[in-house]
Structure 1
Amino acid sequence: MPQLSEYELEREANIARNRALLQELELKEAVSSLGIPKPAPAKAKSNAKPVQPAKKVKRERDEDTGPRRTSARLKTAPLIDPNESPGSKRKREAEEEERRVIAAEEALKAEERTRAAKRPRHQDLVLAILVEDAEPEDLSSLTAALDVVAQPKRVGIIESKPASQEAKEVKALRDKLQELKVVARAKVTQNRIYSAAYHPEITKDLIFFGDKNGQLGIWDARAPPDEVTDEDGDVSTPTDEQERGKYWRLQAHWPADPKSSISAVKLDPIDSHSVYTSAYDCTIRSLSFETSTSREIYHSSDTLISSIDLPPSGHEMWISDTIGGLTHIDLREGNGKRPRWYELSEQKIGCVSINPREPHFLLTASNNRVLKLWDARKLQSIPVESLSTAFTKDTSTPVEFDAETVNKFLDSKKGEGCLRGEWTHGKSVSSAYWDPRGKSIVSTCYDDTLRCAFCAMCILALWDLDTAKFNSSPSAPLPKPFSQIRHNCQTGKWLTILRAQWTTNPDTYPHFTIGNMEHSLDIYSCKGDVIAKLADKTKISAVQAVTCSHPNIVERAVSGNASGRCVLWAPADA
């Protein structure tokens, strides 16, 4: 047996002593020695019964008297006779198969109708279809409003005037336009205004607005208001605070969603009985007032159209798109000419403008920050034989000249003078337009040169060109702009891009209109002088993003905002 250490011996002795001590003591004394408090004395037993919880009564489940779900298959399935003959079975199975085929065909037709309702409409459309839920009297009033006198587009005359005479003309123009007031308001379209055009008719103020969802709003702003009959039968006319004039909404492009936003509205320069609209549904349509019919004149497969313009002759059209291309089409029927598409930029071309005096001079404004001046005569002389790929014989399909073909032509001897000049801006160029004389250019650009904390400033650049010099010298460069105006127009994603629009009236001193983020309509002269800043805080509380002016009356301007509400600016007694 191993020998224990002194520590283990001492431990065993302590255990033995403690065991003997506990045997000698009683339990109560041990508890009291530990200091445990005595338990409280028990209360006398009460004869009162404790409060019993409410007895839960089992609710009987109400019987459901409503219809129960049943199998649709069992409802339509015919009862099968277990003793049917083989011939009856074959006949029954043949009838069931025929019903399944018919049901499948109907489902396919319904699906095709749904898909067709979401695709652009390419067929001719009459006013009764364009004006949804229109009453006969609405169509008759629209037809009466579109009964106008055809007026061809006029071109301004370039005159050299002394500085003193120009100063007098600017002062006279300022005196007229500073007195313009809000004389009519109306919610012409249901969504954001994207584009606008003022009809040249002098007996009425007829304006066309294109909105975000492909709707063309027509506003006869000075038409006498309709009489309103109240509940008591009293007849009254609207007050100045209510909508003025008459308007109609035509769903010119389909489907009615942002895929059909009307990017441009242009009146036919030789026949003001027609208006052209281009949209993001890749189509261009022409609405004729005489036939009351809208017809498609051009469509592309998947290229969004950003802008269109026509020369004074009205026989052709230039189209810009979002992939950097420019398309030329001939509007004369039966001409047999195929459209031609030229890739002129690696980014979106947001605007194309034709010089009214020299229609072969084209302006393109692109997201690559460059404004370019092209000679269309040279551009259209690119030989088809230079194309590296074959093209289809379909006359509606454009002949495509890609960037490689165009650049190769520009570098050749024949291509000298095709690109007449260019000017690089600080950021993307949103628009560039010729004035009615074909002498001045105004461009709009997102150029954050001020780097403000809350907004950025847009640069309005002005050029004064001698087009005769460009015709005589194919190497004449585009000069530096003589004026650059800082203008607050950083619109963001919820407002239409602000574009400076020249007045097309050739009888007045050249000037242009543009919206302002401070809810005003600004007017500048061709030299960059401030003519007027029109605002009315009591009636206008939104940015007037889209503007245009009357082609024949100086004291007329219109503007539209992101909600589809439009404003007519005119003398108070108009």
Structure 2
Amino acid sequence: MDEVSEFERQRQANIERNRKLLASLNLNSLSNEISESIKQEDEASKRKKSSSTTQKKTKRQKVEVQPIRRSRRLAGVSIDDSDSKAREFELEEDRRRREREELEKLKTLRVDGDLSLLDLVKDQTVKSEDGEDSSKLLEKFQKFLGNSKSFSIGDYFETIVKKDNSSKDVKKLREELGSKELYTHFKPNDIKLTKDRMTYICFHPDIDRKLIIGGDSTGNLGIWNSENTDDVDILSFKLHGKNIAKLEFNMNDTTKVYSASYDGSIRSIDLRSMKSSQLFINDFDVGITDINYNNDNEMYYTTMQGQFSRIDLRAGDHSRRQVLRLSNKKIGGFTINPMNKNQIATASLDRTLKVWDLRTATTCDWDEWDDNLETLHTVGVYDSRLSVSIVDWNRSGDLVCNGYDDTVNIFNLGEDISTKPKNFAIEGDLTPSHRIKHNCQTGRWVSILKARWQQYTPDKEKFVIANMNKYFDVYDRDGHQLAHLSNPLVTNVPAVCNFHPTQNWLVGGGASGKVYMFS
């Protein structure tokens, strides 16, 4: 065996000395304790993290969804409001919460057996946009026919004609009106009568030329000579500061046309000299909503504040005129009985159509909230579910009106109403003789639909009203539909429309100011 070198013996001796030194310091035991402690802390940290995650998950699962509560600020309740208002707010929120809870319970109930859908909603009412109630439950279901939008009975004209056993006169008139064609010398896009949304349009009474006049929502007026086929012959000018509500002719002097506006003024236009003069300015610039001729020298008007008055066209000063308040709200339109100028009918935002006898009017400042103020003698009243937009009277004693309740109503009062004494009254409330379903929900960009009789009809009494599906609908005094006119070139709802006073010509205008004429 080889002898160990001196170097190796020295190295082994150093290793042994170091081992004894480490053993005397107990470092291995300390190192093991530290390692074990670190290991235990890591495991505890993991257990804590795992426990925390589990608790969070468990807590999230146990959270119940509470009903959203609006802040008092968003609900319009000021910090300075009284405790009673705050209490009312809390009670209202509690009531809504209970309703939601009841609804959730009802969702889990089972329905057994055969049933009628009408019975399920017999205790409900149909709510309109302004909160008005309707008891006609079927109307709620009719909205599901085809689509959810409102509809007009005129949209089913072809079906009605096939199944309608009308008189020969009605059939003949349907054929005549159905043969009317859209003016095609120029496309409607080129016939822009007004700059903005059209609010009124009519024919000049002349039958030798088809002269059309229209006004818009910003006070512009346009005159179109449709007989000129070489060029679109339109004169357009700014006549008023606001909506032109009505254009009126005196049939005994058709050289002048009168215009009334929401800016509170009435102006006259001489078509020969093409000059316009200011006829009347209302007190405090209260907007004028309608005008009608009573005779050659007198004109009636109504206002945005429910007032009615008459002015003498020969007088320069109208300060002494008599002003009668017929409504606390806007009178959208009125009409004079053609056979008795003392009788008028008004259509108002207060949801009524009222017939008045002016022979009983002396002074009147009527207010429905004050019984001490004197009122006029009311011949008859029709209460509508919603506001009434227009009423018109024909020469046979019939009234037609329509409004936001999506109906057109015809009242066959008869010609004998014109001979009644001044103190007579129609027994009970006015009841429509005929009621026609018609969509009148025009919205913001389409002018209000208004039914108007032909002024001097050459055949049967008939009126026209625009259809929201871009048609002209024509009906007679018995509610029979005579026409449903349109054309692919009619690209806007002809919201404002009219007959020629004596000819079976139709004209309408829409939101873009374009004109559609059938003749």
Q: Same fold (TM over 0.5)?
A: yes
Q: Residue 96 of structure 1 aligns with which residue?
A: none
Does the 8 A contact of 2:498 with 2:507 survive in 1?
A: yes
Alignment-derived partner of residue 558 in structure 1: 507
For residues 285-324 of structure 1, give each alpha carbon's deviation from its aligned partner in whole angstroms, at most 9, with x where no partner exists. 111123321111111223111111112x221111111111
Assess, with a 3 A threshold, how the Cα gap between structure 1 residues 195 and 34 changes in structure 2: closer, same or farther.
same
1:501 aligned onto 2:452: yes
Residue 507 (structure 2) pairs with residue 549 (structure 1): no
2:270 is the counterpart of 1:288:
yes
Deviations 1:383-434, CA, capped at 9 Å, x for gaps? xxxxxxxxxxxxxxxxx845389965757xxx6xx32111111211100001
TM-score, normalised by the number of residues in structure 2: 0.64
Out of 220, 227, 245, the residue aligned to residue 222 of structure 1 is: 227
Change (3 A) 1:303 1:335: closer
Inter-partner Cα distance in structure 1 for 2:464 and 2:443: 20
Aligned to 1:238: none
2:297 paired residue among 308, 315, 318? 315
Matches within 5 A, 1:281-430: 281-300=263-282, 301-311=284-294, 313-333=295-315, 338-379=320-361, 381-382=362-363, 401=365, 403=367, 418-430=377-389
Q: Which secondary structure does the structure 2 equivalent of 1:176 belong to? A: helix
Which secondary structure state, in structure 2, belongs to the residue aligned with residue 171 of structure 1? helix
- RMSD after superposition: 3.1
Task: Find the residue that maps to 2:277 and give its secondary structure.
Answer: strand
Match of 1:471 among 420, 428, 436: 420
Alpha carbons of structure 1 residues 471 and 462: separation in structure 2 relative to 1, 3 Å: closer
| Counterpart AA for 2:380 | G
Matched with 2:216 is 211
Q: Is the 8 A contact 2:507 2:516 kept in 1?
A: yes
1:526 aligns with 2:474: no
Q: State the secondary structure of the residue aligned to 1:273.
A: strand
Deviation at 1:463, TM superposition (A): 2.9
Partner of 1:162 in structure 2? none
Rounded to whole Å, the distance in 1 between the matches of 2:309 and 2:329 is 15
1:559–1:567 Cα contact (<8 Å) kept: yes
SS in 2 for 1:200: coil
Aligned CA distance change for structure 1 residues 284 and 24 (closer, same or farther; 3 Å): farther
User: What residue in structure 2 maps to residue 513 of structure 1?
Assistant: 464
Any residues of structure 2 matched to 1:40-55 within 5 Å, and which?
none
**Corresponding letter in the other structure for 1:472:** P
Aligned to 2:398: 440
CA contact (8 A) 2:410 2:477 kept: no
Is 1:272 the counterpart of 2:254? The answer is: yes
Residues 333 and 325 (structure 1 numbering): CA distance in 2 closer, same or farther, change over 3 Å?
closer
What does 1:162-181 correspond to in 2, within 5 Å? 167-181=167-181
Distance 2:225 2:24 in 1: 120
SS of match in other structure, 1:181: coil
Q: What displacement does 1:275 show? A: 0.6
Distance 2:506 2:22 in 1: 114
Q: Distance in 2 between matches of 1:352 and 1:192?
A: 22
Aligned-partner SS, 2:305: coil
Equivalent residue number for residue 388 of structure 1: none
Change (3 A) 1:32 1:421: closer
Aligned counterparts, 1:106-121, within 5 A: none
Contact kept? 2:464, 2:497, Cα under 8 Å: yes
Q: What is the match of residue 148 of structure 2?
A: none
Matches of 2:370 and 2:319, distance apart in 1: 20
Alpha-carbon offset, residue 371 of structure 1: 0.7
Shift of 1:34: 9.3
Query: Structure 1: how far apart are the matches of 2:481 and 2:21?
Result: 115
Question: What is the deviation of 1:253?
Answer: 1.1
Closer, same or farther: CA 365–470 of 1 in aligned 2, 3 Å: farther
For 1:327, the aligned partner's letter is S
Higher helix share: 2
CA distance change for structure 1 residues 467 and 325 in 2, over 3 Å: closer, same or farther?
farther
SS at match of 2:438: strand
How far does the alpha carbon of each residue in 1:53-108 deviate from its partner, in whole angstroms, 9 at most, with x for none? xxxxxxxxxxxxxxxxxxxxxxxxxxxxxxxxxxxxxxxxxxxxxxxxxxxxxxxx
Would the alpha carbon gap of residues 31 and 561 (structure 1) be closer, same or farther in structure 2, given more than 3 Å must change? same
CA distance, structure 2, for counterparts of residue 22 and residue 262 of structure 1 = 111
Question: Cα deviations across residues 213-249 of structure 1 (Å, max 9, x unaligned)?
Answer: 10001111231223xxxxxxxxxxxxxxxxxx42121
Amino acid at match of 1:370: T
Q: Distance in 2 between matches of 1:285 and 1:297?
A: 5
Distance 1:180 1:26 in 2: 118
> Aligned residues: percent identity?
30
Query: What letter is aligned with 2:455?
Result: T
**Could you list the per-position Cα deviations for residues 126-171 of structure 1 after superposition, in whole angstroms to 9, with x for gaps in the alignment?**
xxxxxxxxxxxxxxxxxxxxxxxxxxxxxxxxxxxxxxxx933322
Q: Map residues 20-39 of structure 1 onto 2, 5 A cutoff.
A: none
User: Could you tell me which residue of structure 2 aligns to residue 111 of structure 1?
Assistant: none
The answer on whether the counterparts of 1:317 and 1:329 sit within 8 Å (CA) in structure 2 is yes
Residue 236 of structure 2 corresponds to which residue in structure 1? 249
Q: C-alpha displacement at 1:376, in angstroms?
A: 1.5
CA offsets 1:497-537 (integer angstroms, 9 cap, x no match): 1000111133221101100111111000111100010022x
Unaligned runs of 5+ in 2: 1-19, 36-165
Q: Distance in 1 between matches of 2:24 and 2:323?
A: 119
Q: Distance in 2 between matches of 1:191 and 1:548?
A: 19
Q: TM-score, normalised by structure 1?
A: 0.58
* Cα separation, 1, equivalents of 2:341 and 2:423: 16
2:192 partner letter: K
CA deviations over 1:10-47 (Å, ceiling 9, x no partner): xxxxxxxxxx98897799xx999999xxxxxxxxxxxx
Match of 1:540 in 2: 490
SS of 1:472's equivalent? coil
CA distance in 1, matches of 2:396, 2:442: 29
Once the two structures are superposed, the pairs formed by residues 113-192 of structure 1 within 5 Å of their partners are 167-184=167-184, 185=188, 186-192=191-197
Report the count of equivalent residues.
Answer: 363
- Matches of 1:401 and 1:174 in 2, distance apart? 47
Q: Is the 8 A contact 2:340 2:418 kept in 1?
A: no
| Alpha-carbon shift at residue 473 of structure 1 (Å) | 6.5
